[in-house]
Chain A
């Protein structure tokens, strides 16, 4: 008997809105949350804009100690996890903790805490031999990104497998894929899966400045993230978290849950080419899409929406467009494609989870969120990118893809829950 994974709860901390309601309002309105950086003094940086979360940890229910000691990324994950658990209606205290797992993605972990403490311990960068006497007790929790998954495990009272997946900018998609694996293989019946990143700090900004990956369009922050637009000039950093409650489909049905979606297929491939560079042909992403579609037993006409990686760098959007054409053939031209990074920026590992959350909400609302800021056509990006305005349409299955430093390429197919699939046993 095949075990299937359904999504029964969604929690979101995103730029422009905390909570899935505010998140969907932003996405469906095509509103952008990119603005001048306020979290640190960015005046000496090439890119001084970001999509920040208006996040008050105390207001979101964290204790004073949690607000003080937990890195911002872990705070995001905890708040998103609590919303997801509540949204799912699942009775975690009544569940076998050994059958509850956690799979959380993060590209850069607790960078903010790690950098802030470095500044203190090193005397503002002066001392290589940093002063251990100035160390805070939670310093190690900042160095080990596994902390984020541990915090979510405590929220979920999970005693099953717990993992922090860190595959750069595909971390979120890969962590959800990993969570689905745990359900399918029978290791867990309930998994909290998602991702969190809070990279808006000087060292992260500096490292993307150094390779000119981020947009220098500081004069027009609200329109700076321009995926698939002919004027695009890099991504705009973001932050946030989405956490999903994933359950074995039969158990979810038996408890009367109303799933948002079923995860139908997932695959990852690596380009084995370059840590940051992408070949224009999108070959390995196309392969990941083909394998995910095969596992979902779907053909290109079955896909009604593609949630693109759409980072807004020159090379990514071309790479990805080629991958869609390679894997979906002429159907690629007929499928709406959009990048929500146009609105909420690129939150590195977290973005994959926010994109899956957007897909889940798109399936629920039967609305495709738009690509904001798309005004000028690029001949190399010639698909239907749903410019600027959300679109109501029938959505049976969605494809979400991610691409990351290190060469990672991932693809996930989600569908409306409960639909019979070709090849299923009667």
Chain B
């Protein structure tokens, strides 16, 4: 045993529950139906009037009513990003059939990723401060705005008293939270509630995101976020995310529950400072994640790409994938074009989508791009889902500034069939190959 308690003999890490709150729907089933049907959650912003802003399209969670989804007193005490998390986490626990009160309190933990905390709550309270004065600031500002708000609330709500954590690695954080959950399962925890959400679609949140120059100013939701395509022009921001219940194999077996799949490998790195002349780290991070999983590249059946939607970043990602797998040698997909980029929630949702895909034997397609840019030598799955029976997936995530993470998961072929195909058998065709001729 080491000082942090992490054992060298690694515990198998099973995913036994999934909860989703995303522009594609509330609930993993609705999300999965949207993904297979290519049903986009992008649209003109409705939470405020975006007319005055160059960015007017976003992925909002449809029909979400916090008053119906979150215990009453917690609604005014927490930000929307925590509301989403409470809904997704409760769904994941129900899906995993976990009653936390029946398990040892110190062997359960909560790990979340947050990219920007309770932005909308914070804008409201700053408005009160500057309009009315310090005594008008809410007593809940101190617990709603900070990045740890969600982990704290989930720990309290579900009585999980183990080594809880919060990672802010911008848009890579969802994978890093899963990496941390895996560490905890090797150091005395049996079950970790892990995921990420963000909800910074208030005016100040949107304007701050716009400052990066990475957001798409396209006003047609169907054409605004087109990663890897010749028409790529930035990304569409979204809100929401996903939570997973990850559990040691021993714990899952003891409880007699099935699982969606297993976390096999993880690695993270950071890009060198711009101007250093050194290459980005993505290819090295992919190789490390595969080595960690004990897999050779030919054993990976699908890559869930980061798909930033900026031509240079798309080309860099495609080059990294091609360097490891060979040009066009592995199907690549980015169902996040249906949701926009959910920041800390994005990679968590991609992991949920990947596990659903593996457990259902389908590679979901990428909606939006119709032609892959010549600089991107990848087999982007376009047009419709690929009934390819994938067994393993690689999920990639990059965060602003250089955060770079990769996760390898395997599906459980014995997972229950969700009965969602999104296709009639007559429609099943070979995939549309995205590799340029």
How far does the alpha carbon of A177 sit from the alpha carbon of B200 in the complex, in Å? 30
Q: Once the chains bind, are B141 and A408 in contact (CB under 8 Å)?
A: no
What residues on A are CB-neighbors of B272 within 8 Å? 97, 157, 159
Interface residue? A118 (CB, 8 A): yes
Interface residue? A50 (CB, 8 A): no
Interface residue? B39 (CB, 8 A): no
Interface residue? A53 (CB, 8 A): no
What residues on B are CB-neighbors of A138 within 8 Å? 211
Expressed in whole angstroms, the minimum distance between the Cβ of A241 and any Cβ of chain B is 16
What residues on B are CB-neighbors of A162 within 8 Å? 169, 268-270, 402-403
Q: CB-CB contacts of A162-175 with B at 8 A, as 1s and 0s?
A: 11111110010010
How far does the alpha carbon of A210 sit from the alpha carbon of B128 in the complex, in Å? 13
What residues on A are CB-neighbors of B200 within 8 Å? 143
How far does the alpha carbon of A37 sit from the alpha carbon of B298 in the complex, in Å? 61
How far does the alpha carbon of A174 sit from the alpha carbon of B184 in the complex, in Å? 13
**Do A129 and B49 form a contact, CB below 8 Å, given A44-B134, A264-B3?**
yes
Complex partner residue of B148 from A121, A136, A408, CB under 8 angstroms = A408
How far does the alpha carbon of A135 sit from the alpha carbon of B146 in the complex, in Å? 22
Q: Once the chains bind, are B204 and A166 in contact (CB under 8 Å)?
A: no
> Which residue of chain B lies nearest to A275 when distances are taken between CB atoms in the complex?
B143
> Which residue of chain B lies nearest to A160 when distances are taken between CB atoms in the complex?
B269
* Chain A interface extent, by class: 35 or more
Q: Once the chains bind, are A272 and B3 in contact (CB under 8 Å)?
A: no
Q: Once the chains bind, are B148 and A146 in contact (CB under 8 Å)?
A: no
Expressed in whole angstroms, the minimum distance between the Cβ of A148 and any Cβ of chain B is 9
Q: Once the chains bind, are B134 and A276 in contact (CB under 8 Å)?
A: no
Of all A-B residue pairs in the complex, the 6 with the closest CB atoms, nearest first, are A125-B130, A406-B152, A150-B401, A166-B147, A139-B211, A207-B141
Interface residue? B412 (CB, 8 A): no
**Do A144 and B170 form a contact, CB below 8 Å, given A130-B203, A132-B53, A207-B145?**
yes
Interface residue? B63 (CB, 8 A): no
What residues on A are CB-neighbors of B148 within 8 Å? 107, 166-168, 171, 404-406, 408
How far does the alpha carbon of A160 sit from the alpha carbon of B272 in the complex, in Å? 10
Q: Is chain A's binding surface mostly helix, strand, loop or mixed?
A: mixed
Expressed in whole angstroms, the minimum distance between the Cβ of B8 and any Cβ of chain A is 9
Q: Once the chains bind, are B106 and A275 in contact (CB under 8 Å)?
A: no
Complex partner residue of A295 from B3, B166, B170, CB under 8 angstroms = B3
> Which residue of chain A lies nearest to B6 when distances are taken between CB atoms in the complex?
A185
Interface residue? B44 (CB, 8 A): no
Expressed in whole angstroms, the minimum distance between the Cβ of B36 and any Cβ of chain A is 33
Expressed in whole angstroms, the minimum distance between the Cβ of B299 and any Cβ of chain A is 22
Interface residue? A266 (CB, 8 A): yes
Looking at B18-26, B157-165, B307-315, B372-380, the stretch in contact with chain A turns out to be B157-165
How far does the alpha carbon of A135 sit from the alpha carbon of B210 in the complex, in Å? 9
Interface residues of B (CB under 8 A from A): 1-6, 48-49, 52-54, 105-106, 109-110, 114-117, 119, 122-123, 125-131, 133-135, 137-139, 141-143, 145-149, 151-153, 155-156, 158-170, 173, 176, 180, 183, 188, 200, 203-205, 207-212, 267-273, 276, 278, 281, 284, 399-403
> Which residue of chain A lies nearest to B114 when distances are taken between CB atoms in the complex?
A166
Complex partner residue of A268 from B149, B163, B269, CB under 8 angstroms = B163
Expressed in whole angstroms, the minimum distance between the Cβ of A78 and any Cβ of chain B is 12
Q: Once the chains bind, are A295 and B5 in contact (CB under 8 Å)?
A: yes
Q: Once the chains bind, are B3 and A126 in contact (CB under 8 Å)?
A: no
Interface residue? A22 (CB, 8 A): no
Interface residues of A (CB under 8 A from B): 2-5, 44-46, 97-98, 102, 106-109, 114-115, 118-119, 121-122, 124-126, 128-132, 135-147, 149-150, 153-154, 157-168, 171, 174, 177-178, 180-181, 184-185, 187, 202-203, 205-211, 213, 263-276, 284, 287, 291, 295-296, 404-408, 413
> Which residue of chain B lies nearest to A136 when distances are taken between CB atoms in the complex?
B211
How far does the alpha carbon of A129 sit from the alpha carbon of B270 in the complex, in Å? 35
**Do A184 and B2 form a contact, CB below 8 Å, given A128-B203, A166-B114?**
yes
Q: Once the chains bind, are B134 and A206 in contact (CB under 8 Å)?
A: yes
Q: Once the chains bind, are B116 and A143 in contact (CB under 8 Å)?
A: yes
A-B contact pairs, 10 of them (CB 8 A): A118-B123, A131-B207, A135-B211, A142-B208, A162-B270, A177-B4, A184-B4, A206-B134, A271-B161, A407-B156
Q: Once the chains bind, are B137 and A206 in contact (CB under 8 Å)?
A: yes
Expressed in whole angstroms, the minimum distance between the Cβ of B270 and any Cβ of chain A is 4
What residues on B are CB-neighbors of A141 within 8 Å? 401
How far does the alpha carbon of A165 sit from the alpha carbon of B151 in the complex, in Å? 12
How far does the alpha carbon of A180 sit from the alpha carbon of B187 in the complex, in Å? 14
What residues on B are CB-neighbors of A269 within 8 Å? 106, 161-163
Q: Once the chains bind, are B273 and A154 in contact (CB under 8 Å)?
A: yes
Complex partner residue of B183 from A102, A174, A185, CB under 8 angstroms = A185
What residues on A are CB-neighbors of B109 within 8 Å? 270
Q: Once the chains bind, are B169 and A163 in contact (CB under 8 Å)?
A: yes
What residues on A are CB-neighbors of B6 within 8 Å? 181, 184-185
What residues on B are CB-neighbors of A3 within 8 Å? 2
> Which residue of chain B lies nearest to A267 when distances are taken between CB atoms in the complex?
B163
**Do A174 and B165 form a contact, CB below 8 Å, given A124-B130, A132-B54?**
yes
How far does the alpha carbon of A211 sit from the alpha carbon of B141 in the complex, in Å? 9
Q: Once the chains bind, are B169 and A202 in contact (CB under 8 Å)?
A: no
What residues on B are CB-neighbors of A106 within 8 Å? 168
Q: Once the chains bind, are B169 and A296 in contact (CB under 8 Å)?
A: no
Q: Once the chains bind, are A406 and B143 in contact (CB under 8 Å)?
A: yes
How far does the alpha carbon of A320 sit from the alpha carbon of B132 in the complex, in Å? 37
Q: Once the chains bind, are A209 and B134 in contact (CB under 8 Å)?
A: yes
Q: Once the chains bind, are B137 and A207 in contact (CB under 8 Å)?
A: yes
How far does the alpha carbon of A189 sit from the alpha carbon of B161 in the complex, in Å? 31
What residues on B are CB-neighbors of A270 within 8 Å? 109-110, 152, 155, 160-164
Instruction: Name the residue in B163, B169, B200, B205 with the highest tally of chain A Cβ atoms < 10 Å from its Cβ.
Output: B163
Complex partner residue of A209 from B3, B123, B135, B151, CB under 8 angstroms = B135
Expressed in whole angstroms, the minimum distance between the Cβ of B210 and any Cβ of chain A is 6
Complex partner residue of A132 from B210, B267, B276, CB under 8 angstroms = B210
Complex partner residue of B3 from A153, A163, A164, A296, CB under 8 angstroms = A296
Q: Once the chains bind, are B106 and A146 in contact (CB under 8 Å)?
A: no
Complex partner residue of A129 from B1, B52, B164, B183, CB under 8 angstroms = B52
Known contacts A206-B137, A275-B152; 8 additional CB pairs below 8 A are A108-B145, A129-B49, A140-B208, A140-B400, A166-B148, A265-B3, A287-B161, A406-B152
**Do A150 and B402 form a contact, CB below 8 Å, given A138-B211, A159-B269?**
yes
How far does the alpha carbon of A184 sit from the alpha carbon of B7 in the complex, in Å? 10
How far does the alpha carbon of A144 sit from the alpha carbon of B48 in the complex, in Å? 22
Q: Once the chains bind, are A268 and B164 in contact (CB under 8 Å)?
A: yes
How far does the alpha carbon of A209 sit from the alpha carbon of B134 in the complex, in Å? 8
Expressed in whole angstroms, the minimum distance between the Cβ of A89 and any Cβ of chain B is 22
**Do A407 and B137 form a contact, CB below 8 Å, given A158-B270, A265-B3?**
no
How far does the alpha carbon of A161 sit from the alpha carbon of B127 in the complex, in Å? 37
